[in-house]
Structure 1
Amino acid sequence: MKEISCKLLVIGAGPGGYVCAIRAGQLGVDTVIVEFGKPGGTCLNVGCIPSKALIHAAEEFGKIAHMAGGKDPLGIKVGAPTLDLTKTIAWKDGIVSRLNSGVAGLLKKAKVKTVQGWATFRDGKTVEVETETGTQVIHAETVVIATGSVPVELPFLPFGGPVISSTEALALSEVPEKLAVVGGGYIGLELGMAFAKMGAKVTVVEALPRVLTQYDAELTRPVLKRLGELGVEVMLGVKAKGLSTKGDALLVETAEGKNAKVAADRILVTVGRKPLTEGWGLEQIDLDMAGKFIRIDDQCRTSMRGIFAIGDVTGEPMLAHRAMAQGEMVAEIVAGHKRSWDKRAIPAICFTDPELVATGLTPEEAKALAGEIKIGQFPFAANGRAMTKQGEDGFVRVVARADNHLVLGIQAVGQGVSELSAAFGLALEMGARLEDIAGTIHAHPTQGEGFQEAALKALGHALHV
């Protein structure tokens, strides 16, 4: 049994874990990172990156299919397209592989030792790692838990056969003829819309009265319109009950309490993710929990001295960039720097068609906090760049205090608005007021002008609407 010692041990090489390890290595901290799978975690290997690759391929295919229909206003005429999904998946896998190698190279550059295997706690300072060459024991002064999350499995729809999670959906060899999506959250709609563009007949089953409940109804309206255009059937107030005897349909209970079937070759279950807190010896250490998550303070410290936790295992929002920010902060704390955690400006993005971005407080949350507020909303229908991209559906909305004009929240829906998230986050992080945004010269013609115009609208003098 091999034994090594280090100052910092990071368990999990997902976005939070690998960023923590790299930054610690840069600061001269003797660091070891343990990962059972490939570097990059869920986000890089079976989540954020591969899903965006598939979404892009679907978008391109959908554009050509639309042109082939002879109704394209741009005057472009093409023949009916075909899709080789196997080749698409191979392209996606190539991107993931390059990024895997990039993360591994960055860890090596930062002089971080990587141990491949499954880590299990002996106590708060020691873990055992089952590797291909035997058991490795690691003693550490400080431990960072970055084990991430896994898809939630429904007991009456266990994964296997026609029932798949997002992981399997991103590795299919052919487009399903009929796809049932259980769950109308961001994962379900992102993938559901992608497969609809690739030719699948998609049905979304959601138990709640509306989809994308983490966003307000006004923001999601353009997405619902697009779902209809793509032929996606959205069943609201409908509960999934199980798989049909033949395995060719999803059994559901309608809002009226009646039993029904949704024909499907594949059933994609996307009802959320849960923290990975089992299988690595959590019972051997005494950590306080916040429900199913590990409880942390504003410096990501757990209830045990010398143990930090970051990322999905610590709760919502389960976002890669949140984990990265936490990981960087913890590395600097371990290195002796003074840092704390402030989550005011974490953008949440939904890569549907059109895309959604929300940063800071919603109008309702802002009212509850500040009382009187000002709201400025600018439609992309009045934005030249959006029109030239056929992306008129959507808007930018700015929410600010009425008394001092401090910006409290920014939301947008529209084609490509995910790229505006950096500007939104920066404005909130810097404590911008409406006058700051309105007085910043935005390049023309860009969709970013919508941000400036929304601020102008809140001040009472929008120029282009």
Structure 2
Amino acid sequence: MVVGDFAVELDTVVIGAGPGGYVAAIRAAQMGQKVAIIEREYIGGVCLNVGCIPSKALISAGHRYHEAKHSEIFGVTTENVKLDFTKTQQWKDEKVVKTLTSGIRMLLKKNKVEIIEGEAFFVDENTLRVMTEESAQTYSFNNAIVATGSRPIEIGGFKFGKRVIDSTGGLNLTEVPKKLVIVGGGVIGAELGSAYANLGSEVTILEGSPQILPTFEKDMVKFVEKDFKSKGITVVTKAMAKEAVDNGNSVTVKYEANGKEEAIEADYVMVTVGRRPNTDDLGLEIAGVEMTERGLVKVDNQGRTNVKSIWAIGDIVAGAALAHKASYEAKIAAEAISGKAVAVDYVAMPAVAFTDPELATVGMTEKEAKEAGLDVKASKFPLGGNGRAISLDKKEGFVRLVTTKEDNVIVGAQVAGVNASDIIAELGLAVESGMNAEDVALTIHSHPSLAEVTMDAAELALGLPIHM
């Protein structure tokens, strides 16, 4: 390879090695492209290093600790249950995160993807420079896929520091806070709030909307609200966070709710109010790429920008900031570059909250379907009618199918309850494939299993319920 003032020629270059970037690189390589991937911080991106994966590890640890202390219903009584949080964090970092990120490196190497470390900056529509602290190198490319992800939003009055932290800081605490305030009761705030409550923290969540988890339907969220109440989590809705005052060994959070100024003292305050696309300092404007006012990249249904050689996927384009959305778009863009007639179709894009219990949705809600002009009905089967759920003592929740009245086509589904994140997969397949309720009802499900709830919900939609 020639370095220095000469431009190194690349076929396809991917910027960012998160769940969008590394998937794009591998799929492009599988399609016969010569691929290089540029990463400035860590392979696996936010998701594997400081997001989806480590948060689920802490959630799992919280479940184990909480269940060890509260399993009397099974006849299991334990005394002197102890938590070594240093060991918990070590397991999260070494056995979970490191295992996965090293696996990604191996997959990239196996697919002959060149890894370039540094920060990319576009010079023009076919040239970029990669800079490190020691050097800079120019590269020319035929196609570039930008997958630089997003970062937490910092709000006024809450400058990140030792006591005011973002979700990354929340995942890397060296101690379980005695008191934790979370600003933002969306998915990230609710998940980490639940995890730390299970680990022993006294948690307060301040949410500006009328309910926590505002992207999920109210009858689903009520199960999480009930669980929060049982664990002593305080939820303040319609709250406006004003300021965080660092007291040295604590922080005072000032907020307004119900027209009154309030204040609460805690060990830490974690701000989880949204994410900002990482599109600044990339030189996209220099390359002529069109952007929105929010800093999102405008793309077509294959991920191509207005500059034919530059593509964009994941958190930096319109839509929900979901790792699986980024991976899906990655495959579409990589295959489109290879000339395949593909396009994104978000009809069956699932969304999940790993709370207690889990919440999951795919396709349209009943309200959305009716607003779209469809004549639909909703059929809700409770987990309390499922043998496996009862044997797990996890009876809270339901599976709901949204089906057309004329031919029972499944256009959406919602799951609240244990393992909702797994149950939703079958229903996503049903929505994606245009199946009707009879297709699911006639599929033999193993017994006893949580998956049977989907069969029962389908039979209910057909007016032939057995277990209800």
Q: TM-score, normalised by structure 1?
A: 0.97
* Superposition RMSD in Å: 1.2
Cα distance in 1 between the residues matched to 2:313 and 2:251: 40
- Partner residue in 2 for 1:190: 191
Cα distance in 2 between the residues matched to 1:133 and 1:240: 42
Contact 2:20 2:313 in 1 (8 A): yes
Report the count of equivalent residues. Answer: 460
The answer to whether the aligner puts 1:7 opposite 2:8 as a matched pair is no
Letter matched to residue 313 of structure 1: I
Contact 2:10 2:139 in 1 (8 A): yes
Contact 2:43 2:101 in 1 (8 A): yes
Secondary structure of residue in 2 paired with 1:212: coil
- Partner residue in 1 for 2:39: 35
- Partner residue in 2 for 1:267: 269
> How is 1:21-420 mapped onto 2 (pairs within 5 angstroms)?
21-67=25-71, 72-94=72-94, 95-131=96-132, 133-244=134-245, 246=247, 248-255=251-258, 257-292=259-294, 293-420=296-423
Shift in Å, 1:371: 3.6
Cα distance in 1 between the residues matched to 2:107 and 2:348: 27
The answer to whether the aligner puts 1:18 opposite 2:22 as a matched pair is yes
Cα distance in 2 between the residues matched to 1:397 and 1:317: 22
Cα distance in 1 between the residues matched to 2:133 and 2:34: 24
Contact 2:251 2:269 in 1 (8 A): no
The answer to whether the aligner puts 1:460 opposite 2:431 as a matched pair is no
Cα distance in 2 between the residues matched to 1:14 and 1:314: 15
For residues 51-94 of structure 1, give each alpha carbon's deviation from its aligned partner in whole angstroms, at most 9, with x where no partner exists.
00000000000011224xxxx11111111211111111110001
Contact 1:356 1:414 in 2 (8 A): yes
Unaligned 5+ segments in structure 1 are none
Shift in Å, 1:398: 0.2
Shift in Å, 1:440: 1.2
> How is 1:413-428 mapped onto 2 (pairs within 5 angstroms)?
413-428=416-431
Contact 1:376 1:456 in 2 (8 A): no
Cα distance in 2 between the residues matched to 1:22 and 1:296: 21
Letter matched to residue 227 of structure 1: F
For residues 158-186 of structure 1, give each alpha carbon's deviation from its aligned partner in whole angstroms, at most 9, with x where no partner exists.
11121001101111110001000100101
Letter matched to residue 417 of structure 1: A
For residues 295-345 of structure 1, give each alpha carbon's deviation from its aligned partner in whole angstroms, at most 9, with x where no partner exists.
111111111111110000002211111111111111111122221111111
Cα distance in 2 between the residues matched to 1:264 and 1:300: 44
Secondary structure of residue in 1 paired with 2:73: coil
Cα distance in 2 between the residues matched to 1:28 and 1:244: 55
Contact 2:408 2:461 in 1 (8 A): no
Cα distance in 2 between the residues matched to 1:398 and 1:146: 34
Letter matched to residue 89 of structure 1: Q
Contact 2:163 2:246 in 1 (8 A): no
Shift in Å, 1:370: 3.3
Contact 2:150 2:278 in 1 (8 A): yes
Secondary structure of residue in 2 paired with 1:8: strand
Contact 2:49 2:97 in 1 (8 A): yes
Secondary structure of residue in 1 paired with 2:7: strand
Shift in Å, 1:285: 2.0
For residues 204-225 of structure 1, give each alpha carbon's deviation from its aligned partner in whole angstroms, at most 9, with x where no partner exists.
0111111111011011111110
Secondary structure of residue in 1 paired with 2:53: helix
Secondary structure of residue in 2 paired with 1:399: strand
Secondary structure of residue in 2 paired with 1:189: helix
Letter matched to residue 76 of structure 1: V
For residues 212-257 of structure 1, give each alpha carbon's deviation from its aligned partner in whole angstroms, at most 9, with x where no partner exists.
11011011111110000110000111111001363521001112x2
Unaligned 5+ segments in structure 2 are none
Secondary structure of residue in 1 paired with 2:74: coil
Shift in Å, 1:404: 2.1
Quick one: percent identity of the two aligned structures? 41
Q: Which moved more, 1:370-379 or 1:341-350?
A: 370-379
- Partner residue in 2 for 1:448: 451
Shift in Å, 1:289: 2.3
Cα distance in 2 between the residues matched to 1:137 and 1:85: 45
Shift in Å, 1:132: 5.2
Q: Which moved more, 1:200-209 or 1:75-84?
A: 75-84
Letter matched to residue 402 of structure 1: K
Cα distance in 1 between the residues matched to 2:175 and 2:138: 44
Contact 1:370 1:401 in 2 (8 A): no
Shift in Å, 1:26: 1.7
Letter matched to residue 379 of structure 1: P
